Structures are given as structure tokens and as C-alpha cells.
Amino acid sequence: MKTVRTMIAVAAGFLLAVAMVAPASASSGDEQPVDVDPQVARMLEEVPGGVLVDANHAVWPELHMELIVPSSASSLARAAVGSCATGLICLYDGYSLSGTKLTFGTCGISTVPSSFATRSLANARSSGYTQARNGTTVLATASAGGWTNVYGTTTNIRCVF
């Protein structure tokens, strides 16, 4: 019985050692640096806690916020409102749901980073409404399942169930 336990411990130790060495040997050092989109870089500098996913995509897990800059290689996910996925609130820097997309996954009042110019808003939630606001002044309102263009400087969004 002791021999079996010893063999299992040795095998587990060997597997652990191989797992720790494999990632280091997999990296050849030939990787090209990621050419991060300028909008993504600005947003990462302005809003702490961001995680770079790829050159055109960053997320802020604690804020339930995501920035996606369109590229020719990107594909549209199954969406409730344009390219805004079900359950999200999406801001775009182009009119009519075009351009770079900034998403929020929680309902409430969320600050819009000053480096993001909101030109349209989509509410892919199943109820309530979302407002693009400057301070407390409402610039535009999108009902559940709808979208609208936004005119003016958006400093925050307000989602109401």
C-alpha cells in the first residue's frame, strides 16, 4: 500500500514539474509585440483595472465594462440590438450603432470615460430603459430592445429596470 502511494506521489510530482516547465519552453521569444489600437490604449490609461484581451479589445471586470474597436477580422456576435449582445448596454462612437463599442453589463449609473465620444446607444436588456446623460441632463433614451443616436457629450449612462 505504501509503495502505491509513493508511486502516485512521484507521478504527481513529475506531472507538476512538467507542467511548470512546459509554458517556459513553449515561448520561443519570437512573438511580435501587440500593436494596440490607440482608442484601447487611451481607455486603458484613463480607466484603471483594464485588461487587454487583444489589440482591439479590453475589459474592466470590476466595472462590467468592455471596449471593442471594430476590425476587418472581427465578427458580430449573436445580438439583441444591432451588434449589442443580449443583456448589455452598448455605446458606440459612431451614429446608428457604428464604430467602436463600449459595453456595460450592469444596470445603474455608470461613468463614461472622457476619451469615449458617445454617438449612439443600444439597450439590449429585456426591460426598462437606458439614458445617455451629461451630469443629470438626459441627452437620449433607449427603451429595452431599442437604440437611439446621441447628441452632446455623454458623461454617464443611467439604466432603469
Segments in 27-156 forming alpha helices (H): 38-46
Are 120 and 91 in contact by the 8 Å Cβ rule? The answer is: yes
Please tell me the total count of domains within the chain.
1
154 belongs to a structural domain: yes
Q: Is 86 helix (H, G, I), strand (E, B) or coil?
A: coil
Q: Give the model's pLDDT for residue 4.
A: 41
Q: Averaged in consecutive runs of 10 residues, what is the pLDDT profile of the chain (161 residues)?
A: 44 37 41 82 96 96 95 57 95 98 97 98 97 98 97 98 88
20 belongs to a structural domain: no
19 belongs to a structural domain: no
Cell numbers 483595472 correspond to 49
Are 122 and 142 in contact by the 8 Å Cβ rule? The answer is: yes
Tell me how crowded residue 23 is: count the other CB atoms within 10 A of its CB: 8
26 belongs to a structural domain: no
Are 107 and 74 in contact by the 8 Å Cβ rule? The answer is: no
Domain assignment of residue 136, given as a range: 38-160
Q: What's the predicted TM-score (pTM) here?
A: 0.74
43 belongs to a structural domain: yes
Q: Give the model's pLDDT for residue 97.
A: 98
32 belongs to a structural domain: no
**Residues whose CB falls within 8 Å of the CB of residue 116, separated by 6 or more in sequence, listed in order:** 39, 43, 67, 91, 93, 100, 102
C-alpha span between 122 and 92 (Å, rounded): 8
76 belongs to a structural domain: yes
94 belongs to a structural domain: yes
